[in-house]
Amino acid sequence: MSKHTGAPFQLPKDAVKKASIGQSFAEYDLIRKYPSLFVETPAMLAAVDPNRPKSFFVGRRGTGKTAVTFYLQSKYEKNTILLIPQLLSGADEYIPSDQEVDVHQQPFKTLVCSFKRAILDEVLSAWLKQGLFRPKSSSSISRERNDIEQFDFDIRLLNFISEGFEYLKTSQKEWLKFVSKPNQIDEEMNEEANSARQSFVVLIDRLDDSWNGSNKAVELVTALMHACVELNASSSCVQPLVFIRENVFERVKSLDRESARLETAVVSLEWTREMLREFIERRLNRNLVTKPALGGPTWDAFFEQLPDDSSEDEVFGYCQYRPRDVLIYVSLALESAQAHLRSKITHEDLQAAKKKFSESRLQDLSDEYADNYPRLRIVLSKFYGLGNEYTVAAIDDFTKKLLLDDEIRDSCQSWIYSHSSPELLIRLLYNLGFAGIKKGDSVVFKSSESALSMMPSITDDCVVVIHPTYCFALSLQNTLVHRIGDDVVLRHSGIITDLPESTSLGAYNAKLTSLQTKLKSLICGDEGASEYEKIVEEILSLCFFRSLTDIQPKSRDVSGRVIRDIIAANYSSIPFWQMLRDQYRATQIIFECKNYENLTADDFHQTSYYMNDVIGRAAFLVHRGGPELKKSYLEHIRRVSNDKHGIVILLGERDLEVFLRQALNGKKSEGHLQDLFDRIVREIS
C-alpha cells in the first residue's frame, strides 16, 4: 500500500518511456535549462538570506554544492560572479616555506590580504563592465584599475602574493601599506555602493579540483576562508561564498589552530528524504502535461509499491541520502524499466540497478578521498568476499593483515600507519561513510538521514557494518565475522583493477613518477619537441586510459598530407568526454603539442585546421606555458568557435603535472578538464 493519501494518479501509457531525469553532474544537468527543477534546500535559503550571514557551504561529493551556485546564478544573474581558482594546483611555488599555519603571523596575513584584495577587485571589475560607477581619480580604487583591467583573478592573486612576500622581506613600511590596501578599497566601495545593483555575491567553487593536496595548498584554502569571513563582516556590497568538500575542510581544521572562527560560518549541505523525493519527482513529471502533485503522488505514480517495504526505503537509504547518488541509482532503474517496456519502475528494476551503482560508488568513494588517502580503494577492496559485519576483534585482525600486505605498504604508506589500531581504522571507515556502528538492533551510519548524528563510541560489544551500497561491489556475504584467522588471505579477486591493461600498480606508479621527472627536466625548444610529444602521449595513455582509446602519435589523414601530433578515440560514457561528443561531435580528440611557453596565432590556426565533421571539432593545444589565459589566446579560441563551431582547450605545464599527481593518488582528472573547459567557455562567451 502507498504511504501517501489520496487516489493514485494514472500516468499516460508512454510516461515511463519518455521520462528523463538528467545528468548526475550539475555541470551537464537539466537544471542549467530548467530552473523549476531546483529543490530549495536549507543551504540555498541560507545563501540568499541576509539575516543568516554564512560563508562556507560544506558537503561531500554529490551533495549539491555546484547546484547551489547554479541556483544563485539563475536567481541573481547580474549580481553573481563565479570563480573557480586555478592557483592551488601550483601552491608550492607561491608560499616561501612550510611554516605552521598561524593566523597571527605576517606570512599568513599576507595571504589573507591578497585574497581579500583579489576578490574586491573582481567585484570592481564587474562594476566597471556594467557601468555601475566611475572611480574618483585620487581614490584607492582608481589606482587599482590596472590590476582590474589587465589580469584575471588567478594572475591578479599571484601578483598580490608575490608583491606581499617581497615587501615582507625588504620593507616593513611597504608591507604595512600593502596589508592596509584591501581595507581602504573595501571602505571606498561601501561608500560608493548606494543601490542593490552594486551588491554582488562571489561564488568560489571546486577548490579541490585544481590543487596538489600539500600543506601549502591547504594553507592557501585556509587563507581564502579567513579572507571571506573578514569580507562578509566588513563589506556591505561584497558577499563571498565558498563551496568546499568535507574532506578539504577537514584538512583545514587539522592545520588551523583557530578554525573555530570558521566553523561558525559553515552551512552543511544536508538532504532529508522529503527533499530527495521532491528532487526526483520534479524531474519525473517534467515532460507530463498534467502533472501529479509533489510530496508523494508523483513518486507513487512512477514506482511500483513493494509489499513489505516502500520503494523510497529501497532508494534513499541505499544511496546514503546524497542527491547525485539518488539520481544515478534512479536513472539506472529507469533505464531498466524502459528496456523492459514497463509502465512503472519495479522492484526488479531497482535490483538490476544495484550492482552497477555499487561498483561505481566504490570507485567514486576512493576518488573523492584520493588527496587525503591515496589509493584508498586498495584498502577497501581487501574486504572482498568477506562478511558485511565485523566484531572489533575481527577488525583488529584485518588491520594487522593490512600492515603486512606488500601492496598496501607500497601504495598507502603515507597514511595507513596512522590508522594502525582497530579503533582508528573503524573511525576512518565511519567518517568515509563506508561503514556504520551497530549496537543492539540499531545501526548508525554517518550518511544517515540525520547527518548531524554523532558517531557512537567504539566498545568491544559493538559491530562494524559495511554500508549496503558497497556490498554488491565487494561480493560481501551476509554474515558476522568474529575473527579473521591466519589462514585467511585478504584478496580483491573480482574487483576490476583500475589500471591500464597488463600493468601492475608498482610499475604504473613508477611510470608516472618517471614522467614527472622527464617533464620537469625537458628543455623547451625545437630540439625537445619530439620528446615532448612522447611525454604527452604517455601521460594521456596512463592518466586517461579509462576514457580515451587507440591513442596514436603522428597520425596522418588519408591523403598523407595532414599530420596530427596525437589523436585518440573518444567513445567514453564519462560525462566530460560525452559532452564533447554531444556538443562538438568529437569522436576523435586531437592533441597538438608545442614545446614552448608562448603560443602564436599560427598554433591556433594549425590546431583548428584539423577539425572537421568526420572526427569532430574539439582539440587540445598542449604547451609549456603557465595557467594564464592571455587575452590573445582567448581571441584565437573565440575565432575558432565562431568560424569552426569548435573548441580549443589549452593544457599548460601545470595541467600535465595535475594529471600525473592525480593518477598517482588514484584520482580521475576529468574534473580538472571540466574546470578548464568551463573557464574558457565563460571567457569567450
Sheet of 387-391: strand order equals: 442-444, 435-439, 463-466, 387-391, 477-481
Mean pLDDT of 525-531: 92
Q: Is it the case that residue 121 has pLDDT exceeding 50? A: yes
* 404-413, 418-427, 520-529, 594-603: least confident range: 404-413
Distance CA 508, CA 602 (A): 36
Tell me: pLDDT of 498 over 90. no
Q: Looking at residues 369-376, what average pLDDT do you find? A: 87
Between CA 535 and CA 469 the distance in angstroms is 39
Strand residue runs (E) in 283-374: none
User: Which residues share a beta bridge with 439?
Assistant: 442
- In the sheet that holds 588-594, the strands lie side by side as 548-556, 563-570, 588-594, 618-623, 647-651
> Nearest CA to 498 among 527, 466, 473, 530?
473
pTM score, whole prediction = 0.76
pLDDT, residue 147, reads 85
The answer to whether 438 and 390 have CB atoms below 8 angstroms apart is no
User: Angle at the Cα of 250 (from 247 to 251), degrees rounded to 5?
Assistant: 95
Q: What percent of the chain has pLDDT over 90?
A: 49
| Confidence check: pLDDT of 97 > 80 | no
Run of H or E residues at 81? strand 80-83
Amino acid present at 548 = L
pLDDT number for residue 499? 74
Q: Does residue 450 surpass a pLDDT of 50?
A: no
Q: What is the pLDDT of residue 364?
A: 87
| Average pLDDT value for residue range 586-606 | 94
Give the pLDDT score at 216.
81
Confidence band, pLDDT 50/70/90 cuts, at residue 178: very high
- Give the burial string for 427-459 (b: 16+ CB within 10 Å, else e): bbbbebbbbbbbeeeebbbbbbbebeeeeeebe
Long-range Cβ contact pairs of 28-37 (< 8 A, separation 24 or more): 28/575, 28/579, 29/67, 30/283, 30/286, 31/67, 31/70, 31/71, 32/70, 34/286, 35/71, 35/74, 35/75, 36/282, 36/286, 37/282, 37/283, 37/286
pLDDT at 525 over 80: yes
DSSP alpha helix (H) spans, 618-669: 631-644, 653-664
Percent of the chain at pLDDT exceeding 70: 90
- Which pLDDT score is estimated for 560? 42
pLDDT tens digit sequence for 271-327: 889 999 999 999 999 889 999 999 999 999 999 887 666 788 888 878 888 898 999
User: Would the CATH topology of 271-368 be identical to that of 505-684?
Assistant: no
Higher pLDDT, 685 or 299: 299
**Which carries the bigger pLDDT value, residue 105 or residue 454?**
105
Q: What tens digit of pLDDT does each residue of 259-286 get?
A: 888 888 999 888 889 999 999 999 999 8
Position 138: which residue type? S
Asked if 649 and 670 touch (Cβ cutoff 8 Å), the reply is no
Q: What is the pLDDT of residues 231-253, one digit of tens each?
A: 999 999 999 999 998 888 888 88
Backbone φ and ψ of 578, nearest 5° = -65, -40
Tell me the mean pLDDT in the region 98-113: 78
| pLDDT for residue 506 | 81
Dihedral of the CA atoms 347, 348, 352, 354 (nearest 10)? 20
Asked if the model's pLDDT at residue 163 lies above 70, the reply is yes
pLDDT category of residue 3 using cuts at 50, 70 and 90: low
Mean pLDDT of 572-590: 91
Using alpha carbons, select from 556, 573, 574 the residue that is nearest to residue 565: 556
Write the DSSP assignment of 225-244 as a string of letters. HHHHHHHHHH-SSEEEEEEE
Element (H, E) at 316: helix 311-316
Higher pLDDT, residue 626 or 533: 533
Tell me the pLDDT band of 505, cut-offs 50, 70 and 90: confident
pLDDT for res 496: 47
Q: Is pLDDT at 430 greater than 70 in this prediction?
A: yes
Give CATH for domain 505-684: 3.40.91.30
Range 43-68 average pLDDT: 84
Beta strands (DSSP E) in 326-369 are none
Confidence of residue 448 (pLDDT cuts 50, 70, 90): low
Confidence class for position 99, pLDDT limits 50, 70, 90: low
369-392 mean pLDDT: 92
Say what the pLDDT of residue 492 is. 59
Cα distance between residue 677 and residue 646, in whole Å: 12
* Residue 445, pLDDT above cutoff 70: yes
Distance from the first to the final alpha carbon of the chain: 52
Domain 271-368 = CATH 1.10.8: yes
Where is pLDDT greater, at 342 or 411?
A: 342
* Per-residue CA distances from 543 to 143, 627, 668 (Å): 45, 20, 8
Closest C-alpha among 500, 505, 531, 544 to residue 662: 544
Best CA proximity match to 106, nearest among 175, 198, 35, 9:
175
* 139-144 average pLDDT score: 84
Q: Which sequence spans correspond to the domains of the chain?
A: 52-268, 271-368, 377-481, 505-684
Q: Which residue shows C-alpha cell 606508479?
A: 509
**What is the rounded average pLDDT for all residues in the chain?**
87
Average pLDDT in the 409-436 region?
92
Rounded Cα–Cα distance for residues 619 and 590 (Å): 5
399: cell is 588491520
Output the DSSP codes for 141-184: HHHTHHHHHH--HHHHHHHHHHHHHHHHHH-HHHHHHHHHHHHH
Which residues have a Cβ under 8 Å from the Cβ of 85 and sit 6 or more positions away?
153, 154, 157, 204, 207, 210, 224
7 has a pLDDT exceeding 80: no
pLDDT at residue 511 greater than cutoff 60: yes
pLDDT given at position 421? 94
Element housing 69 (H / E): helix 65-75
Classify residue 365 by burial, with Cβ atoms within 10 Å: 0-12, 13-18, 19+. buried
46, 86, 115, 218, 628 from 158: Cα distances, Å: 31, 10, 9, 16, 10
Between CA 425 and CA 428, with CA 427 as vertex, the angle to 5 degrees is 65
Q: What is the pLDDT of residue 683?
A: 84
Work out the burial of residue 563: count CB atoms within 10 Å of its CB; fewer than 13 is exposed, 13-18 middle, 19 or more buried: exposed
Distance CA 557, CA 26 (A): 37
Q: Where is pLDDT greater, at 599 or 559?
A: 599
Mean pLDDT of the region 523-533? 93
State the DSSP H helix or E strand holding residue 670, giving kind and residue range, or none if neither: helix 670-684
How far is the C-alpha of 588 from the C-alpha of 611, rounded, in Å?
Answer: 10
Residue 1, pLDDT score: 42
Residue 436 pLDDT greater than 90, yes or no? yes
What is the predicted pLDDT for the residue at 94? 62
Question: Phi/psi zone of residue 53: left (φ > 0), alpha (ψ -120 to 50 degrees), beta?
Answer: beta
Residue 96 has pLDDT above 80, yes or no: no
DSSP lists the bridge partners of residue 319 as none
